[in-house]
Structure 1
Amino acid sequence: MDLSNRHGIITGAGQGIGQALALEFGRRGGHLLLVGRQSATLEETARLVAAEGGTTEILVEDLTQPGAVERISQAVASWSELDLLVNNAGNVRAGRLELTTDADVHAMIDLNLTAPIMLTKALLPTLRQSGQERGSILVNVASGIALVGMPFYSVYAATKSGLAQFGESLRRELIGTGVHVATVYPGATDTAMMTSQNAGADLGWERRSLDEVIADLIAALEAGEHEINTAPEGRRAMQQLNITDPMAVDAAIAPGLEALELAVRDHRSI
């Protein structure tokens, strides 16, 4: 796929994977609407994109608030084309389900699942129209947890699995329309989102650098892939085992369950 000169929206563009993708599309001549909750981080992303040769607009927006989708749609209404949407914004709260507040459950569902569905729904007619020429790109950033549900991440896993199945279903719905739907499954990635999570490789949480993950992601997009797995090799072995013998995964996790809970119980973002 040709990733150059894309006109698109990236949510969660102030840091981590969202910021890194903005830089990649920026250096390929893209014009991007950067969406996020904090003006300072978006402005930093805009500065970095400009240094790479891209151009940006900024929209400070909480995607979970009423009217957010409409305001994003309005921000690009005057664009001559829209051929890129990256649904990247997300949050996580780890811990035992019975200790998870109702507010935290809704926060994850609203941002990780409802927001990307509603934003895609609103922008899909424009993506279809732009896709008739060289093709539009819709990227949903799910998680490796969508492939292997990990303890103490039950709600997060539900939202990311839902996003992955949303992408798979929509991909089949859009065959022949020129809209390329890609779902990304990052494993543990060394970003700000992971700073409050203390599980290491010994507990099955080997981390990859952001540069490595983005390099794999961009290469896969350029190759026209739809299902993009950036997890380290060790986690991919567990993913395969989870398909063939899920109870074996249970048995492998069980001895370290207490240590894992201690390591992730403070894992929160946003």
Structure 2
Amino acid sequence: MKVAGKHVLITGGTSGIGLATAHALIAKGAKVFVTGRRQEVLDAALRELESASGVAADVATREGRSATLAKGTETLGGLDILINNAGGVRAGRLENTSEEEIEAMVAVDLLAPILLTRAALPALRASGEAAVVNVASGIALVGAPFYATYAAVKAGLAHFGEALRRELKGEGIHVMTAYPGGTDTPMMKSNRAGPELGFSREPASAVAQAIIEGIEANAFEVIRGGEARAKMIALNRDDPAAVDERFLSLKPALEDAVKDHAAL
């Protein structure tokens, strides 16, 4: 699928990977609509994007999803590509993570994209050539300590996408899952883990470019992190105990580095 001329809705499109993807799509001739929870951040993003439009809405709420889809499809004049990018995280030991924080991650990272996609299907079917892109996380492929709930919801999102891709096969709607690794975004500002703990960071623009290349290639998935990530995924499949031991040696430093990582 070529993205030029396509009508694209990006949740969480006011910063980080979402904003970078909006920039890259506009540069390729797509028409873009973005959402974000805070009006002032949305306004700043729209000034930066110039040709995009958007709405301040929380897709974790019924009202936010309704406003997102209604205003997005009306403004764009249809919908060809839905990018479920909005997300939130709270790292730390499970017993130190509040019930409210756990519920928030489930709501924004898993429930919101499922329900928004469900609501968007009629508009996507009308496109004739449509796509859904779910932005998961590398942690969905290799679970990391102190990210138990985040790993769970992102893995759930990935399998939702896989099952839905098969459900919609032959019906004009393709589904792709993106697995970013560590990315230099506002969401990562409170994470102090560096490359020595497995948290190398790449620019959001690189992830955005890979997502667009994946859309245009009708790829099933886009996995970031290069050869190192590929080796870790393979090791986790073939010898998960070895990955357990690797994380055991990193646990004290990793726990300290991510204990304040929160973006909800």
Question: If the TM-score is normalised by the length of the shorter chain, which range does it land in?
Answer: over 0.9
Q: How big is the shift at 1:221?
A: 2.3
Secondary structure in structure 1 of the residue aligned to 2:118: helix
2:91 — aligned with what? 94
1:112 — aligned with what? 109
Secondary structure in structure 1 of the residue aligned to 2:160: helix
What is the CA deviation profile of residues 51-79 of structure 1, one whole-angstrom value per residue up to 9, with x for unaligned ones? xxxx3222111112232222223214535
What is the CA deviation profile of residues 183-213 of structure 1, one whole-angstrom value per residue up to 9, with x for unaligned ones? 0000011111111101111112222222322
Which consecutive unaligned segments of at least 5 residues does structure 1 have? Answer: none
Which consecutive unaligned segments of at least 5 residues does structure 2 have? Answer: none
2:121 is matched with which residue: 120, 124, 142? Answer: 124
Q: How big is the shift at 1:154?
A: 0.2
1:202 — aligned with what? 196
Q: How big is the shift at 1:179?
A: 0.8
What count of residue pairs does the alignment treat as equivalent?
Answer: 263
Q: How big is the shift at 1:263?
A: 0.5
Secondary structure in structure 2 of the residue aligned to 1:32: strand
2:215 is matched with which residue: 197, 209, 221? Answer: 221
2:12 — aligned with what? 12
Q: How big is the shift at 1:45?
A: 2.2
Code of the residue aligned with 1:28 in structure 2: it is K
Q: How big is the shift at 1:237?
A: 1.1
Code of the residue aligned with 2:11 in structure 1: it is T
1:143 is matched with which residue: 133, 137, 143? Answer: 137
Report whether the alignment pairs 1:233 with 2:246.
no
Instruction: Say whether the 8 Å CA contact 2:24–2:209 is kept in structure 1.
Output: no
Secondary structure in structure 2 of the residue aligned to 1:198: coil
Mapping 1:162-181, distance limit 5 Å: 162-181=156-175
Instruction: Say whether the 8 Å CA contact 1:36–1:62 is kept in structure 2.
Output: yes
2:2 — aligned with what? 2
- CA 1:215 to 1:80, structure 2 compared with 1: closer, same or farther past 3 Å? closer
Q: Percent identity?
A: 44
Code of the residue aligned with 1:9 in structure 2: it is L
